[in-house]
Homo-oligomer: A and B are copies of this chain.
Amino acid sequence: MITHSSYVVEPWRLRETELSLDVLAQSESVFALSNGHVGWRGNLDEGEPHGLPGAYLNGVHETRPLPYAEAGYGYPESGQTMINVTDGKVIRLLVDDHPCDLRYGELTAHERVLDFRTGVLHRTAEWTTPGGRAVRITSSRLVSLTQRAVAAVVYEVTPLDGPAAVAVQSELVANEQLPDTGGDPRVAAAIGSPLRPEEDFAQDTRLRLVHRTERSGQRVGAAADHLIEGPEGTLWSSQSEPDVSRLTVTATLEPGQRLRLVKFVAYGWSAERSLPAVHDQVDGAVAAARSTGWEGLVAEQREYLDRFWACADVEVGGDAQIQQAVRFALFHVLQAAARGEERAIPAKGLTGTGYDGHSFWDIESFVLPVLTSTAPQTVASVLRWRHATLPAARQRARQLGLAGAAFPWRTITGAECSAYWPAGTAAFHVNADIANAVIRYVTATGDMEFARGPGLELLVETARLWRSLGHHDTEGVFHLDGVTGPDEYSAVTHDNLYTNLMARRNLVAAAEAAVRYPERAAELGVDDEESAAWRDAAARIAVPYNAALGVHEQSEGFTRLQHWDFDATSPDQYPLLLHFPYFDLYRKQVVKQADLVLAMLTCPDAFTAEEKARNFAYYEPLTVRDSSLSACCQAVLAAETGHLRLAYAYLGEAALMDLENLEHNTRDGLHMASLAGTWIALVIGLGGMRHHDRPDGGPGALGDGADPTAAGARLGFAPRLPEPLSRLAFTVLVRGRRLRVDIRSSTVRYTLAEGGPLRLLHYGEPVTVTPSEPVELPVPPPAEVAEPEQPTGRRPADRLGRLAAAGSDADG
Question: What residues make up the interface of A, taking CB atoms closer than 8 Å to B?
Answer: 66-70, 72-74, 79, 184, 399-401, 418-422, 425-426, 471, 473, 479, 481-483, 491-492, 494, 556-557, 560-562, 577-584, 586-588
> Taking the nearest CB of chain B, how far is it from the CB of A344, in angstroms?
20
- Bound Cα distance from A121 to B256, whole angstroms: 98
| Contact of A419 with B70 at beta-carbon distance under 8 Å, contacts A557-B557, A561-B481 already known | yes
Contact residues of A: prevailing secondary structure: loop
- Picked from B68, B399, B557, the residue with its CB within 8 Å of the CB of A67 is B68
Cα separation A491 to B426 with both chains bound (whole Å): 14
Give 16 A-B contacts (CB < 8 Å), ordered by A residue: A67-B68, A69-B79, A73-B579, A73-B581, A400-B581, A400-B584, A421-B583, A422-B422, A481-B562, A482-B588, A491-B492, A492-B492, A492-B583, A492-B587, A494-B557, A556-B557
Contacts of A426 in B (CB 8 A): 583
List B contacts of A584 (CB < 8 A).
400-401, 482
Q: How far is the CA of A423 from the CA of B422 in the complex (A)?
A: 12
Q: Do B70 and A420 have beta carbons less than 8 Å apart?
A: yes
Chain B residues within an 8 Å CB radius of A581: 72-74, 399-401, 421, 425
User: How far apart sit A443 and B220, CA to CA, in the bound complex (Å)?
Assistant: 74
CB distance from A162 to the nearest CB of B (A): 56
Indicate which residue in B184, B481, B578, B583 contacts A400 across the interface (CB closer than 8 Å).
B583
Chain B residues with CB under 8 A of A425: 581, 583
In the bound complex, do residue B400 and residue A587 qualify as a contact, i.e. CB atoms below 8 Å apart?
Answer: no
Q: Please give 9 more A-B residue pairs, beta carbons under 8 A apart, in addition to A401-B581, A491-B492.
A: A73-B579, A73-B582, A400-B583, A473-B560, A481-B562, A482-B584, A492-B492, A492-B587, A557-B557
Nearest Cβ distance between residue A540 and chain B, in whole angstroms?
14
10 closest A-B pairs by CB: A482-B587, A69-B419, A67-B67, A74-B581, A471-B562, A66-B69, A481-B587, A70-B420, A70-B419, A401-B584
**With the chains together, A400 CA to B491 CA distance in Å?**
18
- In the complex, the answer to whether A73 meets B400 with C-beta atoms within 8 Å is no
- A578 cross-chain contacts in B, Cβ below 8 A: 73
Inter-chain CA distance A582–B587, complex, in Å, is 19
Chain B residue contacts of A562, Cβ below 8 A: 471, 479, 481
Among B68, B492, B494, contact of A69 (Cβ-Cβ < 8 Å): B68
**Residue in A69, A473, A560 whose Cβ sees the most chain B Cβ within 10 Å:** A69
- A72 CB contact (under 8 Å) in B69, B79, B420, B587: B420
A418 to B581, CA, bound (A): 14
Is B67 within 8 A of A583, CB to CB? no
Chain B residues within 8 Å of A481, by CB: 561-562, 587-588
Give chain B residues whose Cβ lies under 8 Å from the Cβ of A577: 72-73
Closest Cβ of chain B: how far from A562's Cβ, in Å? Answer: 4
| Distance A587 CA – B468 CA, assembled complex (angstroms) | 13
B580 close to A73 (CB less than 8 A): yes
Most chain B beta-carbon neighbours within 10 Å: one of A418, A419, A494, A584: A584
In angstroms, Cα B582 to Cα A60, docked, is 32
Chain B residue at smallest Cβ distance from A418: B70
Which B residues are CB-close (under 8 A) to A494? 557, 561, 587
